[in-house]
Structure 1
Amino acid sequence: MGWFWRKMNKKRTLERGAMVLKDLIELGHGISNPIKFFSADEILKATNNFSKSNHVFRLAYYSDWYSGKNENHPMILIKKRARFWSLRTDLMCRDIAVSSMVSGHKNFLKLVGCCLELEKPVLVYDGVKKHYRLKISEQTWKRRMKIAEDIATALAYLHTAFPRPFVYRTLFPWNILLDEDGVAKLIDFSFCVSIPEGETFVRVDRAEGFYSWLLDDSGISLDRVVSEKTDVFAFGMFMGRRLLLGNRRIGEKEESEGGGSDTGYASKMKRRVQNVMSKLKEDRRMEEIADPKMIEKMGHISEQELCQMNAFLMLSRRCIGPSEEVPTMVEVAKELKKIQRSPYNDSSSPSDETQFDSAQDISSSVILSNQT
């Protein structure tokens, strides 16, 4: 029976390779960095059959990460889907394709290659630098601002660096890694979609993530329309809910109705998101809304830090505001850099309306300077 399984394995590998190639041609016009296709034996040997001693960490509930090495790579980092995570193969191939396109940028992991022979494809990254899970509660205010800038820059790159803009769609803390130098890197492009040429949005089959609905004047649309503003809104929530509030569910009431239906889930997420939005827009002292764990570590908030937090909050509000007024991710990345560098004081506090450089200047200074 060995010949049968080898034949099936070869067929599966060819089908997956065709999916990756199709995505590369369709999404990036063939633009990608060279990657190696590892055999199953090479991956098993590099990780000692995915041994516990090679296990680095688990992200959320869907992926395990292993360290390894082989003759050509002294240190590699391997992502393997958790056994009980039934992600569709086409989405894993999408992750491989987009990862290969962005791996030259410092705010993404450098993809070395992949293995399509195993039951679930694995991705192989350069592991020379150590990488860690993002634990927001352990981050200082200064580090949180830098993490925000790094991720904003990554999203801006997805929106502007390719013939067809990419929309990330699923911005969660477990999709962010920190390297040993403290640089934040966005990972997992399984649900990433591209906007067709000449269009400003795309309709998707499924709404993935809490913020996969386009914010409009009436609230959160449930028509599964995805655009660059979807990422801007999600990032604004990430800034406010995760980095500033510390993910506290202030005043939220967990509701069980709705079951597992799409409509029930969407309604529940809409209520949760609107609750956070209302908290971010309340006129309260920063000491009352900021993450208490962060405030405790700081001991005392300086005038400069307080001004930075207020500017950070205002930028978050703009990102989750009316859709026709939200900034682009390029503008957000530029403003975050400015917030960190500007010596704010009482006479020069930031306003809601921020002046930006030209799009060309922003792209060159914020996006291209972060490529490696």
Structure 2
Amino acid sequence: MGWLRKKKKKKPKSDVVSESGAQLLEDLIECCDGKSNPIKFFSANEIRKATNNFSYSNFVHELAYYYVWYSGKNENHPMILIKKSGELGEDLLCRDIAVSSMVSGHKNFLKLVGCCLESEDPAMVYNGVKKHYQLEISEQPWKRRMKIAEDIATALAYLHTAFPRPFVYRSLSLRKILLDEDGVAKLNDFSYCVSIPEGETFVKVDEKAHGFYSYLDDNYKSGGVVSEKTDVFAFGMFMGLTLLLGNRSIEEEEEESQGGGSNTDYDFDSMRKRLAQNVMSKLKEDRRMEEIADPKMIEKMGQISEQELCQMEAFRILSLRCIGPREEVPTMVEVAKELKKIQTSLYNDSSSP
């Protein structure tokens, strides 16, 4: 019985630190050729002090799988964000730290200050100059949704192009996105990020495909083949299903089923396929935009201008291009440019804020 299981014997702190440090160094060398941004190593006592011993008053939210977020401060930073890991494996945590150190300077990622590897629940520390919030799609107006799409497309394009080897995010989810107080979207959690070998266009991974079923392309689901198109497909689904249709329930239903709603793998897979097919058919339906777009968003907008309807249609077409035949999908750089164009060129004649 589960409650009779013996507790695992704790490793000495020195062993935990040395093992984690070795894994992190390995990831830094692999990902960044050892040329990452500087990382400060915090002690467990420093992290506890910064968060008032992880007090409830410092609790921010449980924003993503395996992580709990806290606010805090220390003598060098009047505001920091601390991401405390729970069940996340050491290899995944170190990959997150390594890639986060590479992208820290970009506006659509959090700025990593350092990490703590010596506690049972290691932590990552970010510069929290501004307050950050979990992304709640139902609260976002259309104009903000377009900007969120551009921000995340820009982040993915940066991963694909800014380094000698492209990095593929491969686990896109609503829960992996934070909004700062100015509405800038920031992608975080690089636990499952993989690099494509030099001279290659894809890499094959052995572990089970990670991410929401509806966001996974067939090559990744069936054969573990990861390429830049893996992210393009996921982003196209995110654009269409989540930002345009407002269908957050597809992520929530998958989470609930994964947590025990299905009795067998077959039931779970069948449910995920059904969900994906239902929302995909809705995205492709030849109906008026007012009838398929997120009803909560439409209700808040009241009267919708022709420019906004044109934007939504262009947005829908771009999402379908991203999830279309692999030989025809755009790159993330092209997607980001097209999203910027949709926002600017179609809004020139509108006086809407």
TM over 0.5: yes
Question: Normalising by the residue count of structure 2, what TM-score does the alignment of the two structures yield?
Answer: 0.88
1:268 to partner: Cα distance: 3.7
Q: How does 1:150-299 map to 2 (within 5 A)?
A: 150-204=151-205, 205-211=207-213, 213-215=216-218, 221-247=221-247, 259-261=263-265, 265-299=268-302
Q: Which sections of structure 2, spanning at least 5 residues, go unmatched?
A: 1-8
Q: Secondary structure at the match of 1:66?
A: strand
Pair 1:43–1:143, CA change in 2 (3 A): same
Residues 1:17 and 1:337: Cα distance change in structure 2 (over 3 Å)? same
- What is the SS of the residue equivalent to 1:146? helix
One-letter code of the match for 1:196? P
Partner of 1:349: none
Conserved? CA contact 1:213–1:223, under 8 Å: no
Write the distance in 2 (CA, Å) between the matches of 1:249 and 1:328. Answer: 28
Q: Which runs of 5+ in 1 are unaligned?
A: 347-372
Equivalenced residues, count? 333
3-state secondary structure, aligned to 2:222: coil
Letter of the 1:242 partner, please give it. T
2:16 is matched with 12
Name the CA distance, whole Å, in 2 between partners of 1:77 and 1:202. 33
Residue 78 (structure 2) pairs with residue 77 (structure 1): no
Of 17, 25, 43, the match for 1:39: 43
Q: Hey, what's the Cα distance between the residues in 1 that align with 2:264 and 2:82?
A: 33
Tell me the distance in 2 between the aligned counterparts of 1:33 and 1:98.
Answer: 10
1:18–1:306: structure 2 CA closer, same or farther, 3 Å change rule?
same
Residue deviations 1:328-370 (CA, integer Å, cap 9, x gap):
0000000000000013799xxxxxxxxxxxxxxxxxxxxxxxx
Query: 3-state DSSP class of the match of 2:273?
Result: helix
Measured in 1, the distance between the counterparts of 2:155 and 2:109 equals: 7
TM-aligned CA distance change 1:213 to 1:237, over 3 Å? closer
Report the more deviating stretch, 285-294 or 265-274.
265-274
Is the 1:80–1:121 Cα contact (8 Å) retained in structure 2?
Answer: yes
TM-score scaled by length of structure 1:
0.84
Q: What is the aligned partner in structure 1 of residue 340 from structure 2?
A: 337
The residue that corresponds to 1:325 in the other structure is 328
Distance 1:310 1:13, change over 3 A: same
Q: What SS class does the counterpart of residue 84 from structure 2 fall into?
A: strand
CA deviation after TM superposition for structure 1 residue 315, in Å: 0.2
The structure-2 alpha-carbon separation of the partners of 1:39 and 1:260, relative to structure 1 and needing over 3 Å to count, comes to farther
- Find the aligned partners of 1:129 and 1:186 in 2 and give their Cα distance: 15
How many Å apart are 1:177 and its aligned residue?
0.3
- Give the conservation status (yes or no) of the 8 Å contact 2:209–2:221: no
Does the 8 Å contact 2:173/2:212 carry over to 1? Answer: no
- Please tell me the residue identity of whatever aligns with 2:43: S
- 1:48 partner letter: N
CA distance, structure 1, for counterparts of residue 80 and residue 246 of structure 2: 32
Q: Does 1:51 align with 2:52?
A: no
Q: CA RMSD in A?
A: 2.4
CA deviation vs aligned residue, 1:312-335 (integer Å, no higher than 9, x gap)? 000000001111111000000000
Whole-angstrom CA distance in 2 between matches of 1:275 and 1:6: 47
Q: How far is the alpha carbon of 1:170 from its aligned partner?
A: 1.0
Would the alpha carbon gap of residues 39 and 249 (structure 1) be closer, same or farther in structure 2, given more than 3 Å must change?
A: closer
Shift of residue 279, structure 1, vs aligned partner:
1.6
Deviation, structure 1 residue 31: 2.9
| 2:141 is the alignment partner of 1:136 | no
